[in-house]
Amino acid sequence: MQSIRTDLAVEAHELSKKAAKNASEIDGVISDVEKKGNITVTRVEITNENGSRALGKAQGTYVTVDAPDLKYSLDTYERTCQTVAEEIRKMAKVGSDTLTLVVGLGNREITPDALGTCVVSKLLVTHHIKRGGENDIFGDNISGVCAIAPGVLGTTGIETADIIKAVSEKVKPQLIIAVDALAAADIERISNTIQISDTGIQPGSGVGNNREGLCEETTGVKVIAIGVPTVIDAATISKVKIPEEMSPLMVTTRDIDLVIERAAKTVANGINLALHRNMTLRDVESYVG
C-alpha cells in the first residue's frame, strides 16, 4: 500500500486488505456501503491507532461518494449535490447562527489543482449580509458563510495554514470546510469521486508536498475536508519504471477543464445546500448563477 499514492481512505482500505490477503475487516476500521441508484456512498471509520497505521490515515470518518457519470448527467449532478449536503450535515450541526469559513485550497493557475479556488467562486457567501443586518431577502434561510482562497506557499511565501489561522482568529467561525484536489490510485475515480471527512486536511499531500495540516487541533474549530481526485501518480499506472528525476510524475485526464468545472459546481452546491438549509438547488443557483 505504501508504494501506491492515494488520498482516498476507501482506496487505502482496499489496498490494505489486499496487501494482508485478508477479506475480513481490519481491527480499528469499520466500513459500510450504501447504494443510492447509480451513486455509491462508502463510509470508512478509523477507530483506533491500529486502523490508522494500517490505512495511513488519521482517526475519523471518511465518506466517499462515487458518481460514475457526474460529468455528463444532470440528474446525477443534482442527486450528488444533495448527497454531499446530507453528509456534511451529518458531520456538523449547522444553524442560522453558525458562521462557516470555507477555504479553497490549491493553485488557480494549474487546472488540476484549481478545484478549491473554483469552489469558492461558486459559493453563496452571506457573512457580510448577516453581519450588516440586511437579511430581508433571505430571512432565516441562510447561515453565515465566508470564504477565502489563500493560494499556495510558492506564490504567497506564507504557509497556507498560517493564513487560515489568522483569518479564523479574526472572523471566529464555528466550522471550517476545506476543499482541495486529491490524488487517486484508480484512474476510474478521477473526477467521479468526492471524499468528505471530519479529520481535516493536509495541503499538498496528494503530490507529496506536505504542509502543515488543517484540523481541529491546529485551528481550534471543527474542520471538514472535501476533496475530488483530479490526478494519479504515473508510477501507479505505468508499465515502465519512472526515472527518479521525474518522480513524482502526476497525470490527469485531457478533459480536466470540464472535470474541474463540474466537480467544483457539485461540491460548492453541496456546501451551499448544507449551510443554507431551507433553500433548494434552484434557489441557490438563482443567487450564484
pLDDT tens, residue by residue, 20-53: 776 667 899 999 999 999 999 999 999 999 999 9
pLDDT at 129: 84
Say how far apart CA 225 and CA 128 lie, in whole Å: 24
The answer to whether the beta carbons of residues 59 and 83 sit under 8 Å apart is: no
The bridge status of strand 222-233 relative to strand 193-197 is: antiparallel
Q: Which three cell numbers stand for residue 209?
A: 508536498
Mean pLDDT, range 253-281, rounded to an integer: 93
- Which CATH architecture describes the domain 9-288? 3-Layer(aba) Sandwich (3.40)
pLDDT at 108: 92
Mean pLDDT, range 102-114, rounded to an integer: 94
Is pLDDT above 90 for 187?
A: no
Mean pLDDT, range 251-256, rounded to an integer: 90
Give the DSSP letter string of 209-255: -----BSHHHHSSEEEEEEEEEEEEHHHH-SSPPPGGGPSPEE--TT
Residue carrying C-alpha cell 437579511: 135
pLDDT at 106: 93
pLDDT at 71: 86
Backbone phi and psi for residue 30, each to the nearest 5 degrees, phi listed first: -120, 130
Is pLDDT above 60 for 64?
A: yes
**Would you call 284 helix, strand, or coil by DSSP?**
helix
**Among 14-18, 81-85, 102-106, where is mean pLDDT lowest?**
14-18
Say how far apart CA 63 and CA 196 lie, in whole Å: 5
Sorting pLDDT into bands at 50, 70 and 90, what band is 104? Answer: very high
pLDDT at 13: 93
Q: Which three cell numbers stand for residue 196?
A: 468528505
Helices (H), the chain: 9-20, 49-55, 74-91, 115-120, 127-131, 153-156, 160-171, 216-219, 234-237, 256-275, 281-288
User: pTM value?
Assistant: 0.90
Helices (H) and strands (E) in the chain, counts: 11, 9
Say how far apart CA 36 and CA 32 lie, in whole Å: 13
Sorting pLDDT into bands at 50, 70 and 90, what band is 1? Answer: very low
Query: Which among 209, 210, 213 has a CA at the least distance from the CA of 248?
Result: 209
The answer to whether the beta carbons of residues 49 and 28 sit under 8 Å apart is: yes
Taking CB atoms within 8 Å and a gap of at least 24, the contacts of 124-133 are 124/272, 124/276, 124/284, 124/287, 124/288, 126/276, 127/99, 127/171
Q: Which residues contact residue 39 at a Cβ distance below 8 angstroms, ignoring those fewer than 6 apart?
A: 65, 66, 67, 76, 79, 80, 83
Condensed to tens digits (0 to 9), the pLDDT of residues 190-247 reads 889 999 999 998 655 544 555 567 888 888 899 999 999 999 988 777 766 777 766 6
